[in-house]
């Protein structure tokens, strides 16, 4: 049977699996994390140093949007 989940939840705080979030368990999960990092790296390079007028706000919009989209995908594709 094909696995329909891409992530698993991290365990409780005081275990080997410290923290809050998701751990990829399939190639799709790793791809989503790679794309998340790529989008944020592009935003940092494109709106990075030296800071132009309004570039920090544009980068913040990209960063917050990518976090929200990643979180929605990860929650939908996580083992319950």
- Its pTM stands at 0.76
How do the domains of the chain map onto residue ranges? Answer: 22-76
pLDDT band at 10 (very low <50, low <70, confident <90, very high): confident
Q: How far apart are CA 28 and CA 3, in angstroms?
A: 11
pLDDT recorded at residue 61: 86
Nearest residue to 36 via CA among 11, 72, 10: 72
The predicted-structure confidence for 40-64, as pLDDT tens digits, reads as follows 888 888 776 666 667 788 888 888 9
**What does the pLDDT read at residue 65?**
92
Is residue 78 scored above 70 in pLDDT? Answer: yes
pLDDT score, position 37:
93
Q: Residue 71: helix, strand or coil by DSSP?
A: helix
* Mean pLDDT score, 57-72: 88
pLDDT in the model for residue 1: 46
Q: Give DSSP secondary structure letters for 7-38.
A: EEE---TTSSS-SSSEEE-SHHHHHHHHHHHH
């Amino acid at each position: 049977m094909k696995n329909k989940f891409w992530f698993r939840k991290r365990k409780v705080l005081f275990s080997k699996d410290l923290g809050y979030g998701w751990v990829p368990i399939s190639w799709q999960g790793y791809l989503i994390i790679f794309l998340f990092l790529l989008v944020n790296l592009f935003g940092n390079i494109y709106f990075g140093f030296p800071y132009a007028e309004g570039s920090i706000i544009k980068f913040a919009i990209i960063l917050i949007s990518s976090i929200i989209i990643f979180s929605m995908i990860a929650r939908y594709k996580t083992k319950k």
